Copies of this chain bind each other. A is one copy, B any other.
Amino acid sequence: MERRDFLKAGLALGAAAGGGIVTLANAKTAPDLRPGETLRLNSNENPLGLSPAARRAILDGLDEANRYPRDSRVQLIEALAALHGVEPENIVLGNGSTEVLQMSVQALATPRSRLVLADPTFEDVPWYALPFPYELVRVPLDGRFAHDLEAMRRAASSAAGPALVYICNPNNPTGTLTPSAEIDDWIEAAPETVSFLVDEAYFEYCEDPAYWSCVKWVDKPNVIVARSFSKIYGMAGIRLGYGVAHDETAGRLRQFIGKNNANHLVLVAALAALNDEGLIPRSRAANAEGMNILHRALDELGLEYLPSHTNFVMHRIRGELDTYRERMAAHGVRVGRPFPPMLDYNRLSIGLPEEMSRFVEVLREFRSAGWV
């Protein structure tokens, strides 16, 4: 089959399978809200905003906005290498960590590759796989809402060709952990035909002793770790992520990106944020406070929720998710998009403590109305 024909077939397939991919543009907002009144609890952003140090770095960088990035790119790559105890050659910058997912999916595509991923998990990987002849195998999360690594392993090892395994840990949208020791066991034993793409976008929020980074496997050419500046670093809007990988793998990934895929303002902001020692502790503290407010209310209302190791919580609603989302929007709250098959849950991002108190008030109103 010509690639062009494959693309057409892929598009049709995507249209049939893509019902669960809902863009932000679908989120409804009540028209009568006053500006600034909307609670944006839908995209797992850091509600504290840019760190003051990052903001200053951007202001200082504006005079260079007309110049292609040069030193700032080199400096950030060196800082990231130092942070992880690797070489600059092991670091690949992405326009968001999603571009690391994109380049990985593209670089590892073969005519007979199998893509193994959890269900539900972050939607970008299947999106990037759409134009390639990957065979997608979705493996439901296990009883702990962790990745079912045994079942994923069987899916990878029974593939006719190479396998790409996507592990999002902590997992989005559930916020749950897959114990790192279990992942280590598999990576250690896996043949080179099995590649691992480990998404650690929420790494900095997770303080569980059973969790650690897969960057430790950087010497293995079949392991790629993706990290993000969109979450705890508060830079979702200005786009930066990075991959950590074996230098040969990193070199292969770079063939699928532009040499200037990161913009100067986010480069200087990220460097400043890495050097801002208060950023992670204060973001964790605000998140814990907001999380507590939410947990207390969910407990009180008897709405189950999954244990979260992130800045969002997957909690039960009672009734239809679409109706719930519309009613929330009408009350000035944007909540998470649908993540099938978990359509009796809402994924709620943790906002500022005062925003969570406001959300809890709305949730109590919903209970009074019999809506949850």
Give A contacts to B, CB under 8 Å. 2-4, 7, 10-11, 14, 23-25, 40, 43, 45-50, 54-55, 58-59, 61-70, 74, 95-96, 98-99, 102, 106-112, 124, 127, 130-131, 161-162, 230, 234-239, 251-252, 255-266, 269
Point out the residue from B48, B111, B239 that lies within 8 Å of A3, measured CB to CB: B111
Contact A68 B102 (CB under 8 A): no
Establish whether residues A95 and B40, one from each chain, have CB atoms under 8 Å apart when the complex forms. Answer: no
Contacts of A264 in B (CB 8 A): 237-238
Q: How far is the CA of A23 from the CA of B124 in the complex (A)?
A: 31
**For the complex, what is the distance from the CA of A54 to the CA of B65, rounded to whole Å?**
10
Q: Hey, which chain B residues are within 8 Å of A2, CB to CB?
A: 110-112, 161
Q: Is the CB of A237 within 8 A of B64?
A: yes
B40 touches A259 (CB 8 A): no
Nearest CB to that of A49 among chain B residues? B66
Please indicate the chain B residues that have their CB under 8 angstroms from the CB of A269 in the complex.
Answer: 65
Bound-complex Cα distance A86 to B237 (A): 27
Is the pair A67, B95 in contact by a Cβ cutoff of 8 Å? Answer: no
- Chain B residues with Cβ below 8 Å from A63 are 49
Query: Which of A40, A238, A257 has the most chain B CB atoms inside 10 A of its CB?
Result: A238
Check A66–B235 contact: CB distance below 8 A. Answer: yes
List of B residues within 8 angstroms of A40 by Cβ: 67
A11-B251, A50-B62, A266-B263 known; A236 vs B24 contact (CB < 8 Å):
no
Q: How far is the CB of A66 from chain B (nearest CB, A)?
A: 4
Alpha-carbon distance A64/B70, docked complex (angstroms): 26
